[in-house]
Chain A
Amino acid sequence: GEDVEQSLFLSVREGDSSVINCTYTDSSSTYLYWYKQEPGAGLQLLTYIFSNMDMKQDQRLTVLLNKKDKHLSLRIADTQTGDSAIYFCADPSGYALNFGKGTSLLVTP
């Protein structure tokens, strides 16, 4: 995960929006991904964005991509307590995915 940087913690109140940010270094990536990991579980693919898009909306999730700055963000609208988890940004490198260290999202009532 050295090439993918994320802030480590985010705390929001239930009902507010959450924004998780990520910077990456591999500019040749065709897709960029967001994964969610709940305690003791594997990773669940949340959403992805094609590199020629600036924005993608999927229900409560909005992904913004700034290719010039190599910056990716995930916005969760109307955040619920069930959204509390670790969120990983991932950038393909060859056959592998490079993951950041993850952002731990805590949603308080």
Chain B
Amino acid sequence: DTGVSQDPRHKITKRGQNVTFRCDPISEHNRLYWYRQTLGQGPEFLTYFQNEAQLEKSRLLSDRFSAERPKGSFSTLEIQRTEQGDSAMYLCASSRLGTGEGYGYTFGSGTRLTVV
């Protein structure tokens, strides 16, 4: 297992375009999280899946954002009508239910989005 994979690593898009990011978690992990990190800040929680069910969404996740995890494996995060304020690093993390919270999450390397 190579850990949590995110694709693409970098994305530059024009304002108003739609973008989609993909996250492949560690295969035996049934919990998946999306976070956003802007420059000089810590990661901020966006949303959480347990298997295919989206159980929690942050108020940061506006109507332009949607996340899916159709078969409880990989997940996608789509941003519609991108704005310059969406420029950030989007981080995916996964963890395994029942291992104890002490294991924390395993994060991917992130997708850096630049909206021009």
Contact = CB atoms under 8 A, between A and B. Distances in A.
A87 to B, nearest CB: 10
A98 B112 CA distance: 21
A41 B44 contact: no
A69 B106 CA distance: 29
Contacts, number: 66
Contacts of B42: 1, 4, 88, 90, 99-102
A101 B106 contact: no
Contacts of B106: 45
A88 B104 CA distance: 13
A43 B91 CA distance: 9
A94 B31 CA distance: 13
Nearest to B55: A95
Interface of B: 4, 6, 31, 33, 40-45, 48, 55-56, 58, 91, 93, 101-110, 112
Given A50-B102, A88-B42, A100-B42, 6 more contacts: A1-B41, A4-B42, A31-B101, A48-B102, A97-B43, A101-B41
Q: What 3 pairs across the A-B complex have the smallest Cβ distances?
A: A99-B42, A96-B45, A42-B107
